[in-house]
Amino acid sequence: MADTKRYGMVLDLNVNGETRTAAIRPADLLLDTLRDSFGLTGTKPGCRNGDCGACTVLVDGMPMKSCLMLTVEAAGTKVTSIEGLHDTEVQRAFVEKFAFQCGYCTPGFIMNIYALARIHPDADQATITDWLQSNICRCTGYEEIHQAVVSVLGRLSSAECLSVKP
């Protein structure tokens, strides 16, 4: 039985297609609940200020910086973390184009680009540049990341879209 005196509330969340239960405090961030309560450490803490994008997840299919979202705000939504994507076109493109170095920013980029490819499969350069602005790579691998985006756009099959559990 969760310690509600200490944590304040118990919440059910839909994460990667499964219902998970967490004992949380009202001020807990989705980023911390994913990592600390559910062990989904692929979602990375960076700036914790909404600037770097390392913590990006999908909430009802839209990219969201999980350091800017309270866990309670995720109630009733479908959250997808990097662990919810398996061998997608985006991940394959990152490997093919060597679009990572240390890899710390990579999960956030992949979540954001996955959403871009689903929502704007015919994105032009301006749209790609606009979307990539929400993620920072401290290894400055932007050229390879850009190449990965270009290679994946239009390749994301509808079957693959449906296989994701946003």
Asked whether position 59 contacts ligand FES by CB under 6 A, the answer is: no
For ligand FES, the binding residue among 10, 47, 62, 75 (CB under 6 A) is 47
Asked whether position 105 contacts ligand FES by CB under 6 A, the answer is: yes
Q: Is 114:90 a contact under the CB 8 Å cutoff? A: yes
Q: Is 9:20 a contact under the CB 8 Å cutoff? A: no
Number of residues that bind ligand FES (CB under 6 A): 24
Cα 166 to Cα 9, 37, 38, 57, 160: the distances in Å are 24, 19, 17, 10, 12
- For residues 35 and 65, which CB has a smaller minimum distance to ligand FES in the complex? 65
Distance (Å, whole) CA 84 – CA 111: 10
Site stretch for ligand FES (CB under 6 A), options 1-9, 44-52, 74-82, 154-162: 44-52
Asked whether position 138 contacts ligand FES by CB under 6 A, the answer is: yes
First to last CA, the chain: 29
Asked whether position 149 contacts ligand FES by CB under 6 A, the answer is: no
Give 12-48 as a DSSP string.
Answer: EEEETTEEEEEEE-TT-BHHHIIIIIT--TTSPPSSS
CB of 147 to ligand FES, least distance (A): 14
Asked whether position 55 contacts ligand FES by CB under 6 A, the answer is: yes
Site stretch for ligand FES (CB under 6 A), options 79-87, 116-124, 131-139, 155-163: 131-139
Cα 21 to Cα 37, 38, 71, 105, 124: the distances in Å are 9, 9, 11, 27, 40
Asked whether position 20 contacts ligand FES by CB under 6 A, the answer is: no
Asked whether position 148 contacts ligand FES by CB under 6 A, the answer is: no
For ligand FES, the binding residue among 104, 120, 127, 147 (CB under 6 A) is 104
